């Protein structure tokens, strides 16, 4: 596995959840981190956690990644302060509570698509030229199980956006692999992160305990990004072992198999 010491890693959505876990994982591998998110206080918490774990002082680079101009200027500031990122982790994401067809409105659709799909494009576009010039770059997209199978709990806007991320990542590999660029799309099932609190009916503590944890996704991201240059994990679906979506069906199958 290969991640050159001192490599620059830019993580969006770094203030909490999977983004924070990815920042900590890459820092533990010796990377220099640029942390992006909208809330500076949360980014500072992530930076403090990196320092406490013995990582190098990260750069706090706040931005609203749904704003293309803000992404471009933030990327320029990262390059000036640290250099060109070797790795981009597109982890910024979110959902709205009013999300289903009978209640969602145009504003909610735009909010989700802007954050979960368009922002991923903006950040990717920012890093690509230097990655092509270097002939090495690793872009990790945190997609979702909702992007590879029907998950009605997520709502149509989120499912459509994450499906778009999966397709975008595939097109990156098809066009940019010849330049040494690897696009890694991780589609996790339910993860115990703050986004769960936006659900119309948030899951219980017992349900959350069975879900993936942010560090599980971060470990997968670090592994995929540190494989030899010849190898690319193009798509990775990471699910809870006891997956709530199929649990009832599994129990029905088990009940039918028991002797009567």
> Residues 3, 43, 158, 169: which is the catalytic one?
158
Which two three-digit tokens encode residue 259?
């002797």
Would you call 158 a catalytic residue per the annotation? yes
- Dihedral, CA atoms, 38, 42, 48, 51, nearest 10 degrees? -40
Please name which of 189, 234, 225 lies closest in space to residue 23, comparing C-alpha atoms.
Answer: 225
Task: Output the CA–CA distances (angstroms, integers) from residue 165 to 99, 120, 124, 192, in the order listed.
Answer: 19, 8, 11, 21
Percent of the chain that is helix, strand, coil (3-state, to 5): 50, 15, 35
Instruction: Give the angle 224-95-163 at the CA atoms, nearest 5°.
Output: 50
Name beta bridge partners: 33: 9
Catalytic residue numbers, as ranges: 158
């Amino acid at each position: 596995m290969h991640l050159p010491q001192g490599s620059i890693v830019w993580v969006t959505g770094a203030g909490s959840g999977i983004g924070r876990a990815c920042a900590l994982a890459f820092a533990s591998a010796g990377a220099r981190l640029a942390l992006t998110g909208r809330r500076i206080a949360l980014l500072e918490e992530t930076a403090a956690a990196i320092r406490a774990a013995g990582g190098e002082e990260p750069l706090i680079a706040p931005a609203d990644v749904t704003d293309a101009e803000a992404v471009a200027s933030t990327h320029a500031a990262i390059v000036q302060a640290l250099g060109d990122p070797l790795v981009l982790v597109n982890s910024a994401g979110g959902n709205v509570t009013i999300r289903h067809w009978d209640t969602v409105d145009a504003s909610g659709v735009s909010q989700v698509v802007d954050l979960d799909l368009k922002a991923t494009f903006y950040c990717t576009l920012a890093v690509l030229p230097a990655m092509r010039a270097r002939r090495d770059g690793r872009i990790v997209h945190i997609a979702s199980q909702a992007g590879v199978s029907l998950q009605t709990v997520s709502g149509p806007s989120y499912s459509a956006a994450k499906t778009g991320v999966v397709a975008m990542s595939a097109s990156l590999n098809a066009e940019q692999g010849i330049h040494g660029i690897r696009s890694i799309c991780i589609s996790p099932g339910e993860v115990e992160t703050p986004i769960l609190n936006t659900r119309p009916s948030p899951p219980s503590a017992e349900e959350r305990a069975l879900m993936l944890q942010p560090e599980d996704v971060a470990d997968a991201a670090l592994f995929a990004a540190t494989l030899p240059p010849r190898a690319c994990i193009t798509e990775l679906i990471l699910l809870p072992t006891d997956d709530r979506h199929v649990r009832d069906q599994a129990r029905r199958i088990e009940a039918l198999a028991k002797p009567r």
